Chain A
């Protein structure tokens, strides 16, 4: 997950 930080963040954002 650390390696794919941006994707992880974008998926967790609700909007």
Chain B
């Protein structure tokens, strides 16, 4: 219930006015990602146990897991979209053709695959917010500064997911959700690689925070 209360909800896209066509789509998406990152960092601080981590571990988790956490939101919003579109924001639905034109073919394929998986299990909001926190907590940090605090953070979230599924007598869904984490990581990696490639190829101007977070992945 704490995660539900602190869930920021989705931002609206600011359609870039400096250009048009596929570059406009890309710039709009990157602006949205940058603002989502700002919200994500504020949100992370409210997850129970996150503030007990050392600053070094907080940074490592965010640098490693930010895209996974953001993509849970995209997959969640895209579950009920018409025409197999990806819903990056309420006012930014992208079809396969639009993604392809913007150089995001790989992002489309990967995120669509992830969306289908969650569609298949009819992901619920409670599960989506917990999964988002779990993805962040589970991201790989090496070396870990304070292993005990990190373990407590992970255990707390795992327990919350188990308690939720137990309360609905659907314990089997805990395993199903955890088993989706490898696909989530793979999807995030492909998305990051696609963006890094685009940044090099098209030399798109990126906002500082997004650039910093992509650099941590490069």
Closest Cβ neighbor of A10 among chain B residues: B41
Cβ of B63 and Cβ of A11 under 8 Å apart? Answer: no
Cβ of A8 and Cβ of B209 under 8 Å apart? Answer: no
Chain A CB within 8 A of B187 CB: no
Cβ of A4 and Cβ of B41 under 8 Å apart? Answer: no
On chain A, which size bracket covers the interface? 10 to 19
Cβ of B62 and Cβ of A7 under 8 Å apart? Answer: yes
Cβ of B55 and Cβ of A7 under 8 Å apart? Answer: no
How far apart are A11's CB and chain B's nearest CB, in angstroms? Answer: 5
From B77-85, B138-146, B210-218, the one touching the partner chain is: B210-218
Closest Cβ neighbor of B215 among chain A residues: A3
Chain A CB within 8 A of B58 CB: yes
CA distance A11 to B209 in the complex (A): 13
Cβ of A11 and Cβ of B216 under 8 Å apart? Answer: no
CA distance A6 to B55 in the complex (A): 13
Per DSSP, are chain B's interface residues mostly helix, strand or loop, or mixed? helix
Per DSSP, are chain A's interface residues mostly helix, strand or loop, or mixed? helix
CA distance A3 to B63 in the complex (A): 12
CA distance A5 to B209 in the complex (A): 9
Interface string of B44-71 (1 = CB under 8 A from A): 0100000000010011001100000000
Cβ of B41 and Cβ of A5 under 8 Å apart? Answer: no
Cβ of A11 and Cβ of B45 under 8 Å apart? Answer: yes
CA distance A3 to B217 in the complex (A): 13
How far apart are B22's CB and chain A's nearest CB, in angstroms? Answer: 28
Q: Which residues of B contact A15 (CB under 8 A)?
A: 42
Cβ of A12 and Cβ of B59 under 8 Å apart? Answer: no
Given contacts A6-B208, A6-B209, contact A11 B59 (CB under 8 A): yes
Cβ of A6 and Cβ of B45 under 8 Å apart? Answer: no
Chain A CB within 8 A of B38 CB: yes
Q: Which residues of A contact B38 (CB under 8 A)?
A: 10
Instruction: Write the residues of chain A forming the contact surface with B, with a CB cutoff of 8 angstroms.
Output: 1, 3-8, 10-12, 15
Instruction: Write the residues of chain B forming the contact surface with A, with a CB cutoff of 8 angstroms.
Output: 38, 41-42, 45, 55, 58-59, 62-63, 208-209, 212-213, 215-216
